[in-house]
Amino acid sequence: MNKLKIGAILLLAVINTGFSQTKPKERFSNEIDFSNAPKRVNNVSPLSDQANKKNWVLSDKMSDEFDSKRLDTRKWHPNNPGWKGRKPTFFHGSNVSLKDDELVFKINQHSKHEELPEGYTHTAGFIKSKQKVLYGYFEAEMKLMDDTWVSGFWACLGTRDWWTEIDFCENSPATKNQQNDLNSNIHVFRSPDEYGGVKKHFSRNNKYKVPFNLLEDYHVWGIEWDEDYIRFYIDGVLFREAENTHWYQPLEINFNNESNKWFGALPSDKSKLDQEFRVKYFRYWSKGKRLKRQSKKYAEDYLGIK
């Protein structure tokens, strides 16, 4: 194989990785106040906007209640089709399942007789949306892994000229001294000249403190993304508002568990391989009337609302 062809293959591999270079902040930005956290009164609107003052329209094409026996492969790739994992953890479809009406990610469910690629010692799970989406409100209720693995819910797309990422949830609360850490990360790896002309990766990362152990219960992560701002919510509480300066690219939605040296989340002899990352649902809302009919049907079929 000639050098030109090898170079092209390597370039495509880099483009399709979805590799996240997050290094969490060492210090907290501030502690989040939950004294006025909203109460859930309906499932049709985002938790942070239960009165739906912003006219969100629930999308059945993207949303998933994970209440079937098998993953809906019309909506999701059952593994990452491009990125095989951050060593020493390899993404493997055996680690993703639906159980008790939830999406479940495990560790090392692959066959013990299966030989992993060089440099990989463990396997984890990954699903990626087949549809790309630009702007809207994204929400998932999740219970993170009770061991030193990162639980992830994020959006990303890498192409030759444009590669951006928004990390909705990227946390490892079972790793030493991180039980109260809430990381918030956004990345630009490259962008076209008309959208900032970024040639070198940069990120805008913050770390917040929550007044509870983040892994002890389910929590709701929400993201509001539009042309002007990216707003981050947990349990309906706004904790960060970042100006949108480069994130104008349609992105794919990802859920995964993985190792990550920057978080100190690496497997060891003490790793508890029986722990799970669980997702109750993923819901996506757009603005406007375009999906009104589909939204009503989704609410009736999956949320029990007439």
Task: Kindly report the average pLDDT of the chain as a whole number.
Answer: 89
Q: Which residue type is seen at 221?
A: W
Q: Is residue 60 part of a domain?
A: yes
pLDDT confidence bin for 23, thresholds 50/70/90: low
Mean pLDDT of 127-153: 97
Question: What is the share, in percent, of the chain residues with pLDDT greater than 90?
Answer: 80
46-51 own/partner pairs: CB under 8 Å, 24+ apart: 46/137, 46/139, 46/222, 46/224, 46/233, 46/236, 46/283, 46/285, 47/139, 47/220, 47/222, 47/233, 47/235, 47/236, 48/222, 48/224, 48/233, 48/236, 48/237, 48/238, 49/137, 50/236
Is 196 part of a structural domain of the chain? yes
Q: Is residue 206 part of a domain?
A: yes
Total-model pTM: 0.87
185 pLDDT above the threshold of 50: yes
Residue 42 placed within a domain: no
What band does 269 get if pLDDT is binned at 50, 70 and 90?
confident
Please give the single-letter amino acid code of residue 249. Answer: Q
Q: Cβ atoms within 10 A of the Cβ of 91, count?
A: 22
- pLDDT of 288 higher than 90: no
Weakest-pLDDT range from 21-30, 199-208, 270-279: 21-30
Number of folded domains that form the chain: 1
127 vs 290 pLDDT, higher one: 127
Tens-digit pLDDT profile for residues 216-267: 999 999 999 999 999 999 999 999 999 999 999 999 999 999 999 999 999 9
**How big is the CA angle at 236 (ends 232 and 238), to the nearest 5 degrees?**
40
| Residue numbers of the domain that contains 147 | 3-37+47-302
| Residue 117 lies inside a defined structural domain of this protein | yes
- Of 13-17, 130-134, 143-147, 283-287, minimum mean pLDDT range: 13-17
* 63 found inside a domain: yes
* Domain of residue 240, CATH code: 2.60.120.200
Q: pLDDT per residue over 107-139, tens digit each?
A: 999 999 999 999 999 999 999 999 999 999 999
